Structure formats: structure tokens, C-alpha cells
Amino acid sequence: MHQRETLKVNGAGHLEIGGCDCTRLAADYGTPLYVFDESYMRNMMRVYKNTIDKNYGGNGLVLYASKAFSCMAVYVIAKQEGIGCDVVSGGELYTALKAGFPADKIYLHGNNKTENELVEAVEAGVGGIIVDSFREADLLDKIARGHNVKQNVLLRINPGVEAHTHAFVQTARTDSKFGFSISDGAAQRITEHVLSLKNLNLQGFHCHIGSQIFESKSFVLAAEKVMDYIAEVKKSLNFTASVLNIGGGFGIHYTDEDPVLTDKDYAGYLDALIEAVKSKASQYGLDLPYLLIEPGRSIVGEAGITLYTVGSVKDIPGIKKYVAIDGGMFENPRYALYQSKYTVVKASDMNAVCTQKVTIAGKCCESGDLIAVDVPLPEVEAGDILAVLSTGAYNYSMASNYNRNFIPQCVLVKDGKADTIIKKQTYEDLVRNDLIPSRLGK
């Protein structure tokens, strides 16, 4: 097991997170259970913020990427740590504002924002909106005019850099639903168009080249290409970009196939990116742009684990052994979607020797409802507590009530204390919005 500061094996041989015994958490709160380490999240926010403060003169802002995990508590933590956030829906925007997050440190993303979402963002006074289509630019200009404001915007552009990630999470290719490609002239056309709109204030550009990236060269190359474009439009359109949002995508450790990154490694990724921006600015005689970055997974991914209770164990001799848990694709759909790999441990006996490879099966009525395949585990039986590691990002966010299962409770742990940050659902929650038309009777 890869152990960073958040995970330990205590004297009883149990997995511990944030000073809390996982078997006790399972007993107190039930399973499945999402558990998040507050100190880990705060530390990662500080790693990025301190790097910008130290090596870029504080001329920038870390934006927590809400899509990784959105709830009011995480926005309060981000606010306390002095960083901003990006949101990709009206729901995420509402949650951040409800938590008291400052609107001027919120940036709204999305390739097909609804008119209502744009109105809500303008009325809230968000710091910026990342424009992703000509239609959106015109619609937003109309909305801003109606509210008598000039809305700050960035344009999402594709620098033509492909990160070496799973095909489903590559987002900067020319063939992408996101952004405007530099290579085919689309970026130039949208830049010229937005500059002509009276109620939009174009501040600069945004790019995001993918997710789960471990090669700093990818970030460096993307930054260089966008800086080249900034120099190009200054010359061709007499427009000076004052803001550069380089996106996120820093990788985390899921299994032993992934590198183990330290705080120094993450700071190094950002340092390399900063040096690329500085070098290009010097080359072209440009002022350094205000720098925005959008880490999400690397802030909450390894901060979170999910606890399960083992149910049935089905051994098919010579073929496979299934270990069934009380969760499944309803609270972790990432294996079903991406064949994502995870590390699984026996939280109730961390000292037991792994003697087998098993498939972790969920309880949903789907053959493809699996959490992990061919993972090493000790012998397990009904009632044992398993932990799936590095589930803090995109697990709760993508959870559903499929098969009318409950989306699990979330607890935040620190210094041996646990607090609920998202309540356990009830059967009443599942039927709360159901209606029976009177013509159906009962």
C-alpha cells in the first residue's frame, strides 16, 4: 500500500485515516462510506498557492476544480486557504455561493452553459466566465447588456497538445467538444469576435490538456503554445492578454502502476510551467499574465477513501473469485466508465498477507458492476471492512441512485475526529420528488 501522511496502520492493525480507525468509522456511520482527510486537502491547496506566491510573485490564483468533489464544506476549506474555485454548472455555483464563497474568486466553465446558468453567474458577479462557443459569446453579451455590466471572460483554446491519458479524458485535441483550436484558425476568429462585443471584457485565454498527467513536459509545451498565441494576437489584433489559465490535470497515485508524488513533485510541475511562461514572456517582450491553475483531483483524490463491508464471496475454481461489497457502480462508476484501476486493502486487518487476486463486485443488477479487477487481497469473509484508496475525486461527484441505492454519506476527518459533511440518504429522499398523476389513482 502506498502511504502518504493521510493513511497509517494503527496498533490494532487497522487502517487509519486522519487519526480515525476505519473499522470504527464503518461501525459508527455504516458503509459504504466516503471519508476525506481535511489536513491532506489543506496541504495540497497550500502547495500550489505557496508555489505561485514564491515563484510568480503571487501574481496568480489557484482555482479548486469543483467537479472533482463539490460540497459546501470543501468550499469553506478553499475559502479559508485563500484560493478560488471553478464551477461547471449552476448547481456547483449555487453550492459555492451557499457556502459563502466569494463570487469574484469563482470562474464558470462548460461547453454548453444554459442561459439560466449564464444569468446566475452574471448576477452573482463571478470573477470570470470561460467562453466555449460563438453562440455563448453572443448570448452572454446580451445577458451582460441587460444587466448593465461588462463581464470578464476568457476563451478556451486548444493548443494542440495531447496528454498521455485515457482517451475519454483527453480534452485538448482538435477533435474535441471543448474550445477553439489554434491550428485551424478558430481561436483567432473567436478572439476577434469577442473583442467586437461591447459587454464582454476579454482578459485572456484558458486551456486544459487532459487529466491524470505525470509528464511536466505536457504542461510546459501547452503553456509555450498558448504564450505563442498570446504574442500572435497582440501583433495581429493589437490585443494584450492579461490572464492565462493553464487548467489542471496533475496526476495522483491510484495503484503501483502510478508514480508516488510528493509535495515537492507537485510544486515542481507548477514551477516548470511558471518558468515556461516567464521565458516566453521575456522572448516576446510581454508582461507576465495573471496565472490561473485548476487542480482538483490532486487536491482531493488521495485525500479520500471509500469503506465497504464484504458480503458474499463467490469462488469459481480456475476462473475467478468475486468478493461482493455493499457498494458498487452507484457510488463509484469509474471502473464501468473508464476501467479505472484502484488499490484495495483489508482495512480491518492491514497486517494480513495477500494470498490471492480477486475481483471486487458491486451489488447493482449489472454484470459490469465492478469496482476493481485482479486486485491482491488477503483471505476475506462476510463482515470484513475493505477500503478502496484514492476515491476522493470523481466518485461522489459521479454517484447516482441507480437501482435506488443510497448515495453514501461523506465524513471529514482530522486529528482523530470525524464530522459528517454530506448526510446519509433515506428512503424518503429517494421518493421525495416522485409524483403520481391523479388519473392513475392508486
Q: Are 44 and 68 in contact (CB under 8 A)?
A: no
Instruction: Report the alpha-carbon distance of residue 335 to residue 225 in Å, rounded.
Output: 34
Q: Please name the residues in contact with 275: beta carbons below 8 A apart, sequence gap of 6 or more.
A: 220
Q: Give residue for cell 461489497.
A: 325
What are the residues whose beta carbons fall under 8 Å from the beta carbon of 243, sequence distance 6 or more?
128, 154, 203, 204, 205, 289, 290, 292
Q: Is 365 a catalytic residue?
A: yes
Give start and end residues of each alpha helix (H) in 101-165: 115-124, 134-146
N- to C-terminal Cα distance for the chain? 54
Q: How far apart are CA 315 and CA 317, in angstroms?
A: 6
Measured distance CA(396)–CA(270) in Å, rounded: 27
- Identify the active-site residue in 20, 71, 365, 410: 365
**How many helices (H) does the chain have, and how many strands (E)?**
12, 21
β-sheet bridge partners, residue 130: 154
Taking the C-alpha atoms of residue 195 and residue 205, their distance in angstroms, rounded to an integer, is 13
Burial class, 277, CB count within 10 angstroms (exposed 0-12 / middle 13-18 / buried 19+): buried
In 38-78, beta strands by DSSP E: 60-65
Positive or negative, the CA dihedral 68, 398, 153, 228 is positive
> What whole-number distance in Å separates Cα of residue 4 and Cα of residue 17?
10
Tell me the three state secondary structure of residue 273. Answer: helix
3-state DSSP assignment of residue 306: strand
Query: Residue 2: which of 249, 377, 345, 297 has the closest Cα?
Result: 345
Residues 25 and 19: beta-carbon distance below 8 Å: no
The backbone torsions φ and ψ at residue 158, rounded to the nearest 5 degrees and listed phi first, read: -105, 115
Cis peptide before 32 (omega within 30 of 0): yes
Contact 181, 161 (CB under 8 A): no
Q: Which residues are catalytic?
A: 365
